[in-house]
Amino acid sequence: MKRALVTGANRGIGFAIAKGLADRGHDVLLGSRNPAAGKDAAHRIGATALDLDVADPASIARAVEVAGEVDILVNNAGILGSGSVLQDKQDFSDSMAVMVHGPYLLMHHLTPHMVAQGFGRIVNVSSGWGAFSEGVGGPGAYGVAKAALNALTVSAARSLPSSVKVNAMCPGWVRTAMGGAGATRSPEQGADTALWLATLPDDGPTGGFFRDREPIDW
């Protein structure tokens, strides 16, 4: 049994990923910045709730101390701003905190154990909006933050041994609070590639960007 931590997991894609890992027999820590929602979601799937606000370094430090050794990390938490990237300084700061700095700190804290034991899986939930090949789109700073998360993925994979696999993925347009009711995919469909990457075999890829289990361009 592997211990997995999924951030932003009390609903949407994160919840579907956490449930999928729990269904596969893993010990799942369900990260949520809303303690009540996290406890409710964790109870529903047999996971353990973990109070975690990825925008707050102090919250991250407390959470990793509680979590202990983690084998699988899924950086799923995200926020979606509005307007153009240069309009709202707070949106830019918040986006980078949630989708770049938070994942970085979690990787910083949790990868030493992965390296020491010769096994680790890290999945960064990104977006086509974070791809230069697709124009770095989206409202506000969302695309910029996801592009930075993609860059972090590549750099981290290069600095870690191949036994610790770090990949980014795009879930597509998913029916969540962020994606809206008109989206074309269910949370379970959006979670599929993340679950695949979280459970890769020893000869699986690292340092890649995937959608529907297929490589896509950065």
pLDDT digits (tens, 9 = 90+) for 134-148: 989 889 899 999 999
Residue 66 corresponds to which tokens in the numbers above?
């509680």
Taking 70 as the threshold, does the pLDDT of residue 173 lie above it?
Answer: no
| Enzyme catalytic residues | 142
Instruction: Give mean pLDDT, residues 160-175.
Output: 90
This prediction has a pTM of: 0.96
Phi/psi at 81 (5° precision): -85, -155
Superfamily of domain 3-215: NAD(P)-binding Rossmann-like Domain (3.40.50.720)
Instruction: Give mean pLDDT, residues 4-24.
Output: 97
User: Cα(30)–Cα(46) distance, rounded to whole angstroms?
Assistant: 10
Instruction: Give mean pLDDT, residues 64-72.
Output: 98
Residue 3 corresponds to which tokens in the numbers above?
């211990």
Q: Which of 39-43, 46-50, 164-168, 172-176 has the lowest mean pLDDT?
A: 172-176
Q: Which helix (H) or strand (E) holds 169?
A: strand 164-169
Domain ranges of the chain: 3-215
Contact between 46 and 20 (Cβ < 8 Å): no
